[in-house]
């Protein structure tokens, strides 16, 4: 998907450059054409910004969908938890553990003291709240 957006942005930039060159070429000959190319160049500049914003929006949406479809699990290759915050960790042994991530040691510190490799993590669920309290 990123490649498609990059191609679109490249084409829009090429069109914008074309209109800027034409504006410069027509500058002395035809003021109407000069303005027309200037407006076109501005429109392409605006389109470039819109495409960039849409890409950012889709990227954020894609990340949240990935988390949703992975049942809330976030691969450690994508993002790490906050320093010293307890999280659920899925290990390479297929176990789920409660660990803390230490930014200084750049590792998960298991409450059980295991040395398994963390594959994914997710925030702890909210604590139990009995009804009526």
Q: What is the pLDDT of residues 49-94, one digit of tens each?
A: 888 888 777 766 666 655 566 778 888 888 888 888 889 988 888 8
Q: Where are the domains of the chain?
A: 2-69, 74-123
Residues 74 and 120 sit within 8 Å (Cβ to Cβ)? yes
Given a contact cutoff of 8 angstroms between Cβ atoms, the answer to whether 60 and 79 are in contact is: no
CB-based contacts of 30, cutoff 8 Å, min separation 6 = none
**pTM of the predicted structure, to 2 decimals:** 0.46
Q: Which of 3-7, 24-28, 59-63, 97-101 has the highest mean pLDDT?
A: 97-101
């Amino acid at each position: 998907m990123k490649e498609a957006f990059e191609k679109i942005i490249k084409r829009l930039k090429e069109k914008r450059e074309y209109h800027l060159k034409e504006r410069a070429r027509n500058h002395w000959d035809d003021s109407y054409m000069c303005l027309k190319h200037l407006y076109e160049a501005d429109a392409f500049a605006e389109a470039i910004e819109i495409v960039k914003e849409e890409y950012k929006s889709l990227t954020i949406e894609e990340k949240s969908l990935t988390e949703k479809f992975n049942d809330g699990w976030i691969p450690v290759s994508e993002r790490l938890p906050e320093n010293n915050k307890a999280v659920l960790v899925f290990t390479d042994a297929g176990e789920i553990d409660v660990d803390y991530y230490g930014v200084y040691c750049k590792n998960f510190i298991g409450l059980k003291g295991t040395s398994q490799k963390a594959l994914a993590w997710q925030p702890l669920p909210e604590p139990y709240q009995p009804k009526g309290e």
